[in-house]
Amino acid sequence: MSASPLILISNDDGITAPGIRTLVKVMKELGEVVVVAPNSPQSGMGHAITVGDTLRLEEVDIFDDVKAYECSGTPADCVKMAKHYVLKDRQPDLIVSGINHGSNTSISVLYSGTMSAALEGAIEGMPAIGFSLCDYSWGADFSHTEKWIKIIAEQALSKGISKGVALNVNIPTKQNEEIKGIKICRQARAKWEENFDERNDPFGRRYFWMAGNFVNFDKGEDNDEWAIANNYVSIVPCQYDLTAHHTITELNEEWEF
């Protein structure tokens, strides 16, 4: 870690979202901050990138004493532009993404633009963390998250994060009760069960709203859903090597081709 570390910030709720302001505030205490974030909300964008279309990038003056750029692309695009265009030869000491308005525990990590920015940072060889608050409201209170974000970012800066890994941090919503601490977790086994609300537009054509219920199948106490339900901050180390290594032997033994 350099004397004043370079910290890149992105998110998926867009550069004007309240959550990113808390992240900027805390990171300014730890180093030099550069923000490259989407110019519009990008929730649910997963690891999408812009293919076959153009990108815009504009410098904006919306954070005190912080270089900031808004990008027309996805969170993953933002990190790619930050690394290869905005910062060029300067490698950030840390990339943080968020604070997401809403939980990214369990299976939601797959759909999360917040975590795709963090994983993109990990691909680029930076220690990377995605932060989410388990409260979807735009006016959510982020004040209690500052302490935990600072602790985790300081550890990442001083100890590093294993190669190929980004941390998925979820923080319980503000309650009367104090947060109990931090738990290192695995991703809970759960999924979204969708339903489709069918309607007709003013022209008589059918359209749908996709809605879903979160279904938790996991009985363990070592996962992120359990941690959040029990008022702990959860940290799941996530990797972008999707290989299910444990099944390679099985496929080699049992499949015939």
Which residues ranging from 29 to 58 are in contact with its own copies (CB under 8 A)? 41, 43-52, 54-57
Residues 110-149 that bind its own copies (CB under 8 A): 110-111, 116, 119, 123-124
Per CB under 8 A, does 76 bind its own copies?
yes
Determine the distance from the C-alpha atom of residue 183 to the mean position of all C-alpha atoms in its chain, rounded to a whole number: 18
In angstroms, give the least distance from the CB of 64 to its own copies: 26
In angstroms, give the least distance from the CB of 246 to its own copies: 8
In angstroms, give the least distance from the CB of 256 to its own copies: 7
Which residue is listed with tokens 């570390």?
5
Q: What is the rounded distance in angstroms from the CA atom of residue 234 to the CA atom of residue 36?
A: 26
In angstroms, give the least distance from the CB of 138 to its own copies: 12
Question: Which CB atom, from 90 or from 240, has the smaller least distance to its own copies?
Answer: 240
Q: What is the rounded distance in angstroms from the CA atom of residue 80 to the CA atom of residue 117?
A: 9
SS3 label, residue 94: strand
Binding mask 235-254 for its own copies (x = CB under 8 A): xxxxxxxxxxxxxx-xxx-x
> How large is the greatest C-alpha to C-alpha distance in the chain, in angstroms?
63
Question: Which CB atom, from 65 or from 189, has the smaller least distance to its own copies?
Answer: 189
Q: What is the rounded distance in angstroms from the CA atom of residue 24 to the CA atom of residue 8?
A: 10
Per CB under 8 A, does 159 bind its own copies?
yes
DSSP structural state of residue 252? H
Question: Which CB atom, from 16 or from 50, has the smaller least distance to its own copies?
Answer: 50
Q: What is the rounded distance in angstroms from the CA atom of residue 102 to the CA atom of residue 92?
A: 26
Per CB under 8 A, does 177 bind its own copies?
no
Residues 179-238 that bind its own copies (CB under 8 A): 181-182, 184-187, 189, 191, 193-196, 205-210, 235-238
Per CB under 8 A, does 101 bind its own copies?
no
SS3 label, residue 184: strand
Q: What is the rounded distance in angstroms from the CA atom of residue 7 to the CA atom of residue 129?
A: 11
